Structure 1
């Protein structure tokens, strides 16, 4: 069975005011004292962010438990220096992001200017194992139409600089400012994929392969495909749900490839529109159906995803977990809806952050 790993980016905030705090170096220093966690937490572009990576897992229950554990350890280390962690894909409160000053980040700041200085957004990346680059690229070609549905399920960034953005996932709109971000055309082979990446790096517009920010890409470090469309999810259970769906999409796509089924030929232009609609609507309105690229109720489109990957979910033992998780999201809402309801109830973005800090560590 394919293994799955998750990388989550968490926001460091003041536990009293809810304002982001540029203390990642101090948190990482504390974490480095724990030998068991030296390969778990990583530095990110901005000092208000902390990233962790789970170990690869086969069982989704164990993956969920590890996400909860890593969030708890992040909270413990952050609490030791007087701050807290929140699984928020953008800061609800105004923030002036502090860029890390290693060589790589300085190059990015010089090259991209205001894009870097406004890019405090936090995502959830899912790695799913593949047998080869050839299989991985076949998967990338075939999952493209379904990525917008994952984005809608995970949407958790309605606020930007203290205001309602009118989007469910404003993080994804900010992320599109990178020159290499977004959906891709069909590659057809691993050779074409690698040639395309090499050509992009050769332009000098991006620094290296690490700046290939496709919605889904071959991992540089692991034998995986990496899904990069999801907001960091408010609840750990939603992150595990997205991971289970990502694995099912990979398994379904790989099976289609082995059986000789061609990928859907949707243009990048249409895929961008589907991504925009998912960012705007989340689960509250309509999405573009991956088969027809026409607007349909979000619940209908989510049900279509479940039908598309149902056989793979059953084979992995994830069908009940995913059905329950989707039903819960459709009933109670994703992180974007929760944040808006919290603001409506409390009238305070600070209180929104405080409650999201609590939910970040909830099982």
Structure 2
């Protein structure tokens, strides 16, 4: 069975006020001193680290075959991150963007500093939090074949995870404004059908040779072949407010990869949908989330979001059953469709009149639990 690992980017905010706090290095230093920044035994994943801005942390799980074990570790990393944050007076919040006004402070590394210098406002304003799902593949050729076949479903993955309706103190009109900010980077967004691993590698080499990108780490495709692990990395999702939603997405991503790999092995061609059309579908998913219509990946026509989600479920159901994930996914999809996304939750909290600080505080409470928010230091 294919393994799955998850990366989550989390905001660091001041306890009580919800103000963004540039304390990543201090929080990480404390976690390392406690021995809670890594899991023992080595191997991929199992680490708490920084991201581009000092106002965020990133958690990385180990690869798992069991979704319940993945969820247990993911929740543990949220708690570890919350505890490290609490040691410097902060909390962690699983929000795709920081809702209020903020000036991101770049982590002091030559690469990040060069990104800010080279990409100007795009680099200076970059403070977004995504959910990245790594699914194991058997070969580079299989990875590219999978990318060619899952691409039409990635807008639905985005719609399930929208969690960034506010940015710089403004209601953006989008359920996922994080996705719009990501598109400012020169390599972000949907890709065309590659057709082969050689074609994928040739395109990547051309992109690097252009001098526009600093390195291969800046391939911000909605999904890509990982440079460091034998995985496909699906990157179209906002970080999820609820941990159980992140596990739901991880299970769906594994099923998408398995379905695509089986289709390729059986000789079926990938759907011939142009990247331009996928960009429209991604925009619609970012705008509406689950609270409107999406672009159907088969007909490329508007369709109620719940119906498109059910179409995704039907598409991957054999793979879900084979992995033993069907009941978990169906139950959690029902909950998500009733309860709504993180974007809906943020808007509902804001509508109560307590302002964006209440939105941030609510998110911090849900991210790791009320007990974690109260931890002052290592016991």
Task: Please report the TM-score for the alignment, with normalisation by the length of structure 1.
Answer: 0.98
After TM superposition, the structure 1 stretch with the greater mean CA deviation from structure 2, 140-149 or 102-111, is 102-111
User: Which whole-Å deviations, capped at 9, do the CAs of 1:80-132 have from their partners, x for residues lacking one?
Assistant: 11111000110111111111231101111111000011111110000000000
SS of 1:33's equivalent in the other structure is helix
Q: Take 1:10 and 1:81, find their aligned partners in 2: how far apart are those partners?
A: 15
Question: Does residue 111 of the first structure (1) align with residue 111 of the second (2)?
Answer: no
**Which residue is 1:353 aligned to?**
360
Question: Does residue 135 of the first structure (1) align with residue 108 of the second (2)?
Answer: no
User: Which whole-Å deviations, capped at 9, do the CAs of 1:241-283 have from their partners, x for residues lacking one?
Assistant: 1100000000000000000000001111100000000000000
Question: Does residue 161 of the first structure (1) align with residue 174 of the second (2)?
Answer: no
Match of 2:347 among 340, 344, 360: 340
CA contact (8 A) 1:43 1:50 kept: yes
Equivalent residues in 2 for 1:287-298, closer than 5 Å: 287-298=294-305
**Which residue is 1:4 aligned to?**
4
How far off its partner does 1:331 sit? Answer: 0.3
Q: Take 2:369 and 2:279, find their aligned partners in 1: how far apart are those partners?
A: 34
**Which residue is 2:28 aligned to?**
28
**Which residue is 1:329 aligned to?**
336
After TM superposition, the structure 1 stretch with the greater mean CA deviation from structure 2, 221-230 or 348-357, is 348-357
Question: Does residue 98 of the first structure (1) align with residue 108 of the second (2)?
Answer: no
**Which residue is 1:19 aligned to?**
19
Q: Take 1:354 and 1:105, find their aligned partners in 2: how far apart are those partners?
A: 29
Q: For the aligned residues, what is the CA RMSD?
A: 1.0
CA contact (8 A) 2:28 2:37 kept: no
**Which residue is 2:81 aligned to?**
74
CA contact (8 A) 1:48 1:98 kept: yes
After TM superposition, the structure 1 stretch with the greater mean CA deviation from structure 2, 348-357 or 267-276, is 348-357
SS of 1:41's equivalent in the other structure is strand
User: Which whole-Å deviations, capped at 9, do the CAs of 1:155-206 have from their partners, x for residues lacking one?
Assistant: 0001011111110000000000000001101111111111111110011100
After TM superposition, the structure 1 stretch with the greater mean CA deviation from structure 2, 91-100 or 258-267, is 91-100
Q: Take 1:206 and 1:63, find their aligned partners in 2: how far apart are those partners?
A: 33
**Which residue is 1:280 aligned to?**
287
**Which residue is 1:120 aligned to?**
127
CA contact (8 A) 2:136 2:231 kept: yes
Q: Take 2:35 and 2:166, find their aligned partners in 1: how far apart are those partners?
A: 37
How far off its partner does 1:19 sit? Answer: 1.1
Match of 1:211 among 213, 218, 224: 218
Q: Take 1:127 and 1:121, find their aligned partners in 2: how far apart are those partners?
A: 19
Q: Take 1:350 and 1:180, find their aligned partners in 2: how far apart are those partners?
A: 33
SS of 2:131's equivalent in the other structure is strand
**Which residue is 2:43 aligned to?**
none
Q: Take 1:95 and 1:103, find their aligned partners in 2: how far apart are those partners?
A: 22
Aligned residues: 363
CA contact (8 A) 1:10 1:86 kept: yes
Question: Does residue 253 of the first structure (1) align with residue 260 of the second (2)?
Answer: yes
CA contact (8 A) 1:5 1:56 kept: yes
Unaligned runs of 5+ in 2: 39-45, 371-379
**Which residue is 1:197 aligned to?**
204
How far off its partner does 1:67 sit? Answer: 0.8
CA contact (8 A) 1:153 1:283 kept: yes
